[in-house]
Amino acid sequence: MAHKDAHRLHRTGWLRAAVMGANDGIVSTASLVIGVAAAHAVRGEILLAGIAGAVAGAMSMAAGEYVSVSSQSDTEKADLDLEKRHIKDNLEFEHKELAAIYQERGLEPDLALQVADQLMVHDALGAHARDELGIQDQFRARPIQAAVSSAAMFAVGAALPLLSIMAAPRSHVIPVVAVLSLLFLALLGSLAAHVGGASMVKGALRVTFWGALAMGLTAAVGTLFGVVVC
């Protein structure tokens, strides 16, 4: 009988980047335009601020992810180069080290040595990367992929409050953008939780709470400085 339970760990990499990008796009752009609207700006100014914020935010996400994941990639490469030298210079020690890892995981000593021997013959570096360093191909750091996906998802998220501005009457920009953005966040949180196998209610509440807090604080700042400047 086929094993039908679907594990979700393989989704954590792209799920994290997608959710973080879209969530930041919605929260930061909605908060920005609500703050500008609270300062009594006209629709054109609100929309311009939102577009500028969306472009800047997407590029910031791309740069941040690229730098962060590049650092991780550099560390992985350095560790792999070091392990490659260890295998070349002291193969016997590395073989025993790998066998000890399998023994600690529950294999009998003789079986652990056999497994280590076969894996070392098949792919010594791959075995040590996976079982000693914890580096697996499907979870390897990919800077460009991370940067592009984060920027793209930020832009998608930012587009939602921008479309809300164009659809809302000027006198109702703030409540329309706030309500629709919170709905988008709740949907995003629920979807991410569902894909990750977690509670959809908790996922929705988690993102809407922080989104509402960010929008509320930005609206307060916009109202305060709008009065001072005007």
Residue 110 sits in which domain range? 14-225
Angle at 176 between CA 174 and CA 179, to 5 degrees: 100
Counted domains in the chain: 1
Domain assignment present for 5: no
Which of 9, 45, 43, 47 lies closest to 30 in space, CA to CA? 47
pLDDT at 124: 75
Domain assignment present for 40: yes
How far apart CA 135 and CA 124 sit, in angstroms, is 13
Phi, psi of 42 (to 5 degrees): -80, 170
Domain assignment present for 204: yes
Domain assignment present for 173: yes
Per-run averaged pLDDT (10 residues), the chain, 230 residues: 46 61 90 90 90 92 85 80 79 79 79 78 75 66 80 91 87 89 88 76 87 90 65
